[in-house]
Chains A and B, each alone.
Chain A
C-alpha cells in the first residue's frame, strides 16, 4: 500500500499550504459539513485540518495530499460526532441544511436536498463511506487504506449503505419522513 506521508522536507511550507488550501479547503469544509450538519463545527474541523497540515514536520507525498486531508477530516468529524452523541440522542440529530449559492437555480433542488439529507441520516460508518466514495471520488482501496479496514469491509459497507439509503428515500417518498435517525 502506498504511504500517504513522505520524509521529504517541505521546500516551502507556506507555498504548500497556500496551494493545498486553494485546491482543497472547500472540499474539506463541505465534507465536514455534510458529515456533521453543523456549520460552526465544520469550520472548526477545517481549521484543525489545515493547522495540522501547517504544523506537521514532514511533507505529504505528491498525489496523496487530498487523501491525507480527507483522512484527517474524517478523524476530526468522528471525534466530534462521538463526543456529541448524548446531545444528539436527546435533542435529535441535526438536520442538514442546504446552503446553495444565491445564483443557483431552484429546479429540482428539493429532490437533491432529499438525497443529501437521507445520506446524512445514515449510520455514521455508512455515511462516511458514501461520502468518501461518491462525494470525494475515492476508490475502495483508497478508502480501505484511509480507514485502516479490509477492502471487503468497505465494499460491504457501500452495498449496505446503498440499501439503507434506498429504504430511507422510499420512506420519504411514501410520506413517512425521517422520524428515526
Chain B
C-alpha cells in the first residue's frame, strides 16, 4: 500500500464505510433527545423559585428544630465537639480494575502487571505522619530503614508528639510534629529527593521514609504538582497497577508529561482505584493514587495527557 493513497482517503473511506448511515431512526432519536433537553432547560428557571423556597424551609427547620427539643439541656452545657474530616493519600484499599473474567480471549495485554498494593503505611487505623515547616508527610512501608548514605541535611526536629495531629495548630505543624516519631527525633532531607517531596525520620529505631501528602487542610497551596512531587529526571521505573511498567527514558518522559500537564482539581486527595508507583534512581519508591484520569497524594491532579503518554510508552 502506497502512502500516496492517503490523498484519496475521502473517497476510500466513504466507500469503505458506506454501510454506515445516519438514518431516519437515528434522526428521530436525536430529535426526541434534543426536545427533552430543550424542555429541561426551559423548565429549570421555573423550578428555581420553588427550589429556593424548599431550601429555605429546610434551613429553617434545621435551625429551629434542635432548639425546640433542647429545653431540658443545661445552659452551662459545653459546646458540641468539633468534627474534622481529614483524608490523606493511600487511605483507601486499592481496588483491582481488571479481573481475568473481564479480559476477552482476543485481548492483547501488553506488559500487564504491577502491584496495586499501597506503599503508604498505616498503624492500627491511624495515618503515621510527620509535619514540618507546614508540610505534612506520610510514612511509606518501604524501605523499612533508609540507608544512612541517603540522608541529607536536617530540616527540623519533632517537637510535638500527638495522637491527634489533625487538631494541631499551624505552629505545631511548622515546628515539627508527629504521631509516630518521638519528640526530639531529627527530620532529614533525603539525598536526591526534593525536601518538599519526601523526608526521613527515625521511628522505632528505624529510619523511615515519608512522602508529602494532603492532610487536615494542608494541601499543595498554590503550587504545581512538581512542587510537592519533584521526580523529574530521576525516575527509574513507573508502574501503573494493573496496566504495566515503563522503565528508563520512557518512564522519565511519561513522568515529565505528568509534571508538565497536571492541573489541580482539589487540595485534598481522593479515593483511588489504582496506584502509580515511582521507583527513583536511588532505589526509593514514591506513590500516587490513581482514579480515572487523576492522580493524588498532595492534592488531586487531573492529567489525561499522562495516561495517553503512558499508553504510548508501553
Contact = CB atoms under 8 A, between A and B. Distances in A.
B103 A91 contact: yes
A51 B30 CA distance: 6
A172 to B, nearest CB: 7
Interface string B27-62: 101110111011001000000000000000000000
Contacts, number: 153
Nearest to B6: A134
Interface in B226-269: 242-244
A76 interface: no
B7 interface: yes
Determine the main DSSP class of A at the interface with B.
helix
Contacts of B308: 82, 85, 123-124
A55 B36 CA distance: 10
A1 interface: no
Given A50-B30, A85-B311, A135 B13 contact: yes
A16 interface: no
Contacts of A134: 6-7, 9-10
Contacts of A26: 20-22
B26 A46 contact: yes
A21 to B, nearest CB: 6
Given A92-B108, A116-B12, A82 B18 contact: no
A135 B243 contact: no
Interface string B96-133: 01100011101111101000000000000000000000
Interface in A86-100: 86, 88-92, 98-100
B169 interface: no
A104 B109 CA distance: 35
A25 B22 contact: yes
A180 to B, nearest CB: 8
Interface string B298-313: 0000001001101110
Given A82-B307, A102-B19, A169 B12 contact: no
Interface residues of B, number: 52
Point out which of B3, B19, B97, B314 has the most chain A C-beta atoms below 10 A from its C-beta: B3
Given A55-B34, A86-B243, A115-B6, A92 B18 contact: no
23 contacts: A17-B31, A25-B22, A29-B20, A29-B21, A30-B13, A30-B20, A39-B20, A46-B26, A47-B33, A51-B33, A54-B38, A82-B308, A85-B307, A86-B242, A92-B106, A101-B19, A112-B5, A115-B1, A115-B5, A116-B12, A116-B13, A135-B10, A180-B110
Given A89-B310, A99-B17, A115-B9, 20 more contacts: A25-B22, A25-B26, A29-B26, A46-B30, A47-B29, A50-B34, A54-B35, A55-B34, A55-B38, A89-B243, A89-B314, A90-B97, A90-B103, A90-B243, A91-B103, A91-B107, A92-B106, A112-B5, A112-B12, A130-B6
Interface of A: 17, 21, 25-26, 28-30, 33-34, 39, 42-43, 46-47, 50-51, 54-55, 82-83, 85-86, 88-92, 98-102, 104, 109, 111-116, 118-119, 123-124, 130, 134-137, 162, 165-166, 169, 172-173, 179-180
